[in-house]
Amino acid sequence: MYAGLHPDTVLADVSFADLPLVSTAANESDLSPIVRRARPRVPTPGAAVLLRAALAFMTFAAIGALAIPAMAEPGMQPGETQKAQPRLRGDVTARGDVLALADLVEGAPDSLAARPLFRSPALGATGTIQTRRIVEAAAALGVSGLETGGRMQIAVQRAARRLGPPDIEAALKRGLESGYGLDPRSVAVRFDGDGPTLLAPVDLAGQAAALDLTYDPRSRRVSGLVSLGERQASLRVSGVVIELREVAVLTRALNRGDPVREGDLVLERRPREIVATDAQAGGTAVLGEVAQHPLPAGTVLRVSDTALPELVARGESVTIVYETASVSLSMRGLANDAGRMGAVVNVVNVASKKILQATVIGPGRVSVGPGPVAQQTAGTPQVQATASLR
């Protein structure tokens, strides 16, 4: 019987080098070692092969560099590279009369960034733009694939420089000073209607001026054209000139008898027509005086609101003085009336019980003579005595 491989057996997955040797002799003399031939070594590439490979690599690199500009967005200039995907900006603030592509689209090509798309709202106003209109306008310039972030519209606010009533009033007062000689510190302007506001471009600097100014001293009516720059922004206004008066205003509340101290008053300019005729025009004259009745903070101080403090109280013991150029007499008395400095009060001579009329000259002191002699004859000694007047 033959032992061998079946002719139909497939040995595609079996390696003959892994199979054991089979001997047919008793002493295995027919076995001979298998000699494995060494695999041939791959020769090292020569210089010509390396040169051809380098040339091929450089050729592919040059083709790629030339193909990049051709793949850029339509409308882009040669040499520009594709930027990130353009995106719609959020709400914007316009500083000029038109909105350019770069104002609305982030990542727009440099060559198209300044292309105008829409007109800005009026100065100080706010408007909206539908997103689809921005997408259509950008596509017309060759900018496609605009990322909107799901927004349906954006808001556009027009920036503006605002000149309110104080600035406009200052312009009119400068014109009244130069044209009619009015002191700008002593007048104010009451505008007709609501307070006017002048809107101007944000880049329009400078001070407002009053042009075509007219003023009627009898009716005190004033009107003029307030303008910025070369009439780049202007507004016609009118009103009435109000004369102001400087008055003293209390900064804190005073109770009856409280003295007026330094810092209790501030000087303000108020319309003359609403200020009392006896309003205090200054604050230094009333320092040291006391309130005659409760006065709340913010009160425009009148002459009758304060007075000098009482130096003599009713029923108070006083010193009665009689003075001449050479004689000075003093005695004890009792005040029947209260009085301030310079007031005439009735006093009783304690010794004679006689009622005298005296002038208050200091705290607890009254005079019944011609008054203290300010100028005394030099070299003449003054005789002082204590006596009783009968």
Question: Do residues 299 and 332 share a domain?
Answer: no
Instruction: Tell me how many helices (H) and strands (E) the chain has.
Output: 4, 24
Supply the CATH number for residue 124's domain. Answer: 2.60.480
Q: Assess if residue 104 is contained within a domain.
A: yes
Q: 306-307 and 344-349 as β-strands: parallel, antiparallel, unpaired?
A: unpaired
Residue 16 is predicted with a pLDDT of: 36
In single-letter form, the type of residue at position 110 comes to: D
**Are 142 and 190 contained in the same domain?**
no
In a domain, 63, yes or no: no
The pTM of the full predicted model, rounded to 2 decimals, is 0.54
Q: Which of 159, 175, 207 is the last residue of a domain?
A: 159
Q: Which helix (H) or strand (E) holds 216?
A: strand 209-216
The conformation of residue 304, written as its DSSP 8-state character, comes to G
Domain limit, last residue, from 131, 159, 187: 159
Check whether residue 239 and residue 168 sit in a common domain: yes
Identify residue 294 by its one-letter amino acid code. P
* Domain termination site, one of 244, 274, 298: 244
Domain with residue 329: its CATH number is 2.30.30.760
CATH number assigned to the domain comprising residue 279: 3.90.1210.10
Which domain range does residue 214 map to? 163-244
In a domain, 3, yes or no: no
273: which 2 tokens?
A: 């027509």
Is the domain of 107 the same as that of 119?
yes
Residues of the chain with pLDDT under 50: 1-36, 73, 75, 82, 372-390
Task: Determine which helix (DSSP H) or strand (DSSP E) holds 175, and give its type and residue range.
Answer: helix 165-180
Q: Which pLDDT score is estimated for 325?
A: 78
Residues 252, 238 share a domain: no
Shared domain for 331 and 359, answered yes or no, is: yes
As to burial, measured by CB atoms within 10 angstroms (0-12 exposed, 13-18 middle, 19+ buried), residue 369 is middle
348 is a domain residue:
yes
pLDDT at 388: 44
pLDDT at 375 (0 to 100): 38
Q: Are residues 168 and 238 in the same domain?
A: yes
Amino acid at 84: A
Structural domains counted in the chain: 4
pLDDT tens for residues 278-312? 898 887 888 888 898 999 999 999 988 998 888 88
Are residues 136 and 176 located together in one domain of the fold?
no
Q: 206 and 193, same structural domain?
A: yes
User: Is 76 within the bounds of a domain?
Assistant: no
Would residue 282 count as lying in a domain?
yes
